[in-house]
Amino acid sequence: MSLELKTQYGSIEISTEVIATIAGGAATDCYGIVGMASKNQIKDGITEILRKENFTKGVIVRNTGEDVHIDMYIIVSYGTKISEVASNVQNKVKYTLDQTLGLSVDSVNIFVQGVKVTNM
């Protein structure tokens, strides 16, 4: 699946995997994020931190007509304020996608899959 952007010079098709990878990279740069988690692993009760090449398993890009919505499954660091971390991730992902792709994202939904104690 891909999104099509219309410009004055023509149209550009961007794969949802590319959008998911950029969004996952932007999220993991935020303070308080340990990593991305797979959306399917919560059923099993196991959360595993995804590596860069697997960010697409933890990010869902939905295109409903003109609107783009992103669902992100993250693991946060123990001792951080989860609401602040989620807000920072939302802002960073929206800003990064706007700056790199020129893509206006309507919503970034954050699902916290786990909390991990990190060694200081």
pLDDT, one tens digit per residue, over 7-61 is: 889 988 888 889 999 999 899 889 988 888 877 665 545 556 666 666 677 889 9
Q: What structural domains does the chain harbor?
A: 2-116 (3.30.70.1350)
Is residue 66 predicted with pLDDT exceeding 60?
yes
**How many whole angstroms from its chain centre is CA 54?**
12
Report CA torsion sign: 69, 70, 71, 76.
negative
